[in-house]
Structure 1
Amino acid sequence: MAAKIDLTLDCTDAQLLAVFWKTALGYIDEPPPAPFRTREEWLAQFDLADDESADDGAWLCDPAGDGPRLAILKVPEPKRAKNRLHLDIRVPGHGGPDERWARIRAEADRLVRAGGTVLEEFTGHHVMMADPEANEFCVAAASA
């Protein structure tokens, strides 16, 4: 059996990024692990420091269960450099190069409206973007 992976994203505002990434990926808030009924109940077992709260993290999942889980965690230090690992959002659909590029551009435009920023366009291939905290990701066509 192949190992499953989770992705963890450090940030300064977990709730802001959770809203963005739910919009970008179609993800939902992941339910707390059993037997806990809420994230707050689950977090209470860790005896958080007085300056930490449940809002300092967000846990997202693919509602179909196919994609990796995404943990978004507040950290004290700011982002300092380009990501060494980034996400590629693959836009589904078929068609010729112009149709694929139109779908990529439409998805990039949607993500700009959700708070993302276009960093660079590689016309006909992909768009390099950043989320609201400058974490890089790309929008490209899905593999045929």
Structure 2
Amino acid sequence: MTARIDLTLDCANASLLAAFWKTALGYADEPPPPPFATREEWLASFGPPEDGSEDDGAWLCDPDGAGPRLSVLRVPEPKTAKNRLHIDIRVPGHGTPAERWHRIRAEAERLVVAGGTVLAESDGHHIVMADPEDNEFRIAANPAA
């Protein structure tokens, strides 16, 4: 049996970061696990601290079930260094290198509007970006599509 992975992003503002990554990945809010009717009910089952809030986290999933789940959790400490693991967003489609580069640039522009920042471009290959809390990720062409 192959293991599945979930990814977790620590952050200062879970709502802001979850909104960005839902836009970037086409993800949706993950429903609470059974038998809970709401995410709040699920959180209450852990007896969270009184100073905690439902805004301390967000749980996202690929609506098609293909990609890993993504948890976005508020933590008290700030980000202090470069990510050791980053997300690669792969844009689909065959075509010439110029056509693939055009799709990569268009995706970067879309994510700038959503709150991302372009950090660097490797012309014709990939663009390094940061989400609204400076977590680095790359946009590149999907080699299989």
TM range (shorter): over 0.9
> Per-residue CA shift, 1:52-82, capped at 9, x if unaligned?
1111000000000000000000000000000
> Per-residue CA shift, 1:32-65, capped at 9, x if unaligned?
0000010000000111112111110000000000
Look up the match of 1:112: 112
Indicate the SS of the match to 2:59: strand
Once the two structures are aligned, what percentage of the paired residues are identical?
A: 74
> Per-residue CA shift, 1:9-40, capped at 9, x if unaligned?
00000000010000000000000000001000
Look up the match of 1:125: 125
Look up the match of 1:29: 29
Q: How does 1:18-97 map to 2 (within 5 A)?
A: 18-97=18-97
Rounded Cα–Cα distance in structure 2 between residues aligned with 1:21 and 1:45: 27
- May I ask how many residue pairs the two structures share in their alignment? 144
TM-score (norm. length: structure 1) = 0.99
Give the partner amino acid of 1:95: G
1:7 Cα deviation after fit: 0.2
Rounded Cα–Cα distance in structure 1 between residues aligned with 2:33 and 2:143: 34
> Per-residue CA shift, 1:59-117, capped at 9, x if unaligned?
00000000000000000000000000000000001100000000000000000000000
Rounded Cα–Cα distance in structure 2 between residues aligned with 1:30 and 1:4: 16
The runs of 4+ residues in structure 1 deviating greater than 2 Å are none
TM-score (norm. length: structure 2) = 0.98
